[in-house]
Structure 1
Amino acid sequence: MKMNNDDSAFLRKLGTKATRKLKAQRQGKPRVLSGLGLLGIVGWSIAVPVLLGLVVGWWLDQCCPGRFVWTLNLLMVGLLLGCINVVFWVRKEYQTMHDEQDDKEPPHD
């Protein structure tokens, strides 16, 4: 049976994925635990700025009340900063992960 370029490209891709899976199994990194760790980091990256905004806003409302409700405004600022932080962090991790995969893949013919 004769193989064409599509078949050989498919087999090369399949071999790369199998090699990557075997390496991950040897390293002993369970995907579920690393996924939960990622969710924890993302959650804390949002929660910490929100809580800081709440605390500082509440303190400002107690200290110097005025026309503005500092608690709500700083809560929103904390949420915005937390989301921006997560976007940059996830983008960096995504790029790092794909750079590592590109380095390990064999060159295509």
Structure 2
Amino acid sequence: MTEKNDASATIRRHAERMQQKRKAPKYSPLSGLGVFGVIGWSVAIPTVGGAFLGMWLDRVVPQSFSWPIALILGGVVVGAMVAWNWIDKTRDK
């Protein structure tokens, strides 16, 4: 009978520890790296897309200013706004 009580007590303690961990999850370093990755891609994709679109516009619609530089700056601004929005949403959770 004591073995059965010991086993049930062990299971109960294990279940209580699991519930405590679920209530207060800890952030791991890997989740931090994931955040850096999402923020980096959300800035990099509009920036590179702006550069390519600007190079195409330079050939099709030449202007006195540089399309790639203008659209790279625009891509950085758009990417920063997307990253800021994403950080704001994840901070509330």
Give the aligned partner of residue 43 of structure 2.
Answer: 46
Unaligned runs of 5+ in 1: 1-18, 97-109
Match runs of 1:32-43 below 5 Å: 32-43=29-40
- Alignment deviations for residues 33-64 of structure 1 (CA, whole Å, 9 cap, x no partner): 11111100000000000011001001001112
For 2:53 and 2:46, locate their aligned partners in 1 and report how far apart those are by CA, in whole Å.
10
User: How many Å apart are 1:31 and its aligned residue?
Assistant: 0.5
Give the RMSD, CA atoms, in angstroms.
2.0
The one of 64, 67, 71 equivalent to 1:70 is: 67
Give the aligned partner of residue 6 of structure 1.
Answer: none
Q: Does 1:93 align with 2:81?
A: no
Q: What's the TM-score, normalizing by structure 1? A: 0.61
For 1:63 and 1:82, locate their aligned partners in 2 and report how far apart those are by CA, in whole Å.
25
Percent identity (aligned) = 36
Q: What's the TM-score, normalizing by structure 2? A: 0.71
> What SS class does the counterpart of residue 65 from structure 1 fall into?
coil
Please tell me the residue identity of whatever aligns with 1:95: D
Match runs of 1:11-26 below 5 Å: 23=21
The size of the alignment, in residue pairs, is: 73
Unaligned runs of 5+ in 2: 1-16
